[in-house]
Amino acid sequence: MGVVVETRVGRKRVIVIPKAIAEAVRIDEGQRVRIVAVGGEIVIKPVRDAVWLALYGKKIGRIMPEEVEEESLREQEGVSGRG
């Protein structure tokens, strides 16, 4: 089932995500979350940005630094060639 923790709803209906839960799903301070009400339950999901996905996301391909540099140069030539 995973990590289970109970917490209280505070003033203005504020809920603090317990440290054990935040660590289990890799939520850091300041990160955005999506809150959804589903059939009488609340689901909180972290919103992953490009940096998080680059560091922790599923890897679907491999690219070498040289390839990135070559593509960058091609893009720059294309931009400077327009005009």
- CB of 20 within 8 A of CB of 5? yes
pTM, 2 dp: 0.56
Q: Is the pLDDT of residue 82 over 60?
A: no
Tell me the per-residue pLDDT of 27-81, one tens digit each, with 9 for 90 and over: 989 888 999 999 999 999 988 877 777 777 777 777 788 888 888 888 888 766 5
Domain 11-81 has CATH 2.10.260: yes
> Taking Cα atoms as reference points, which of 8, 40, 45 lies closest to residue 25?
45
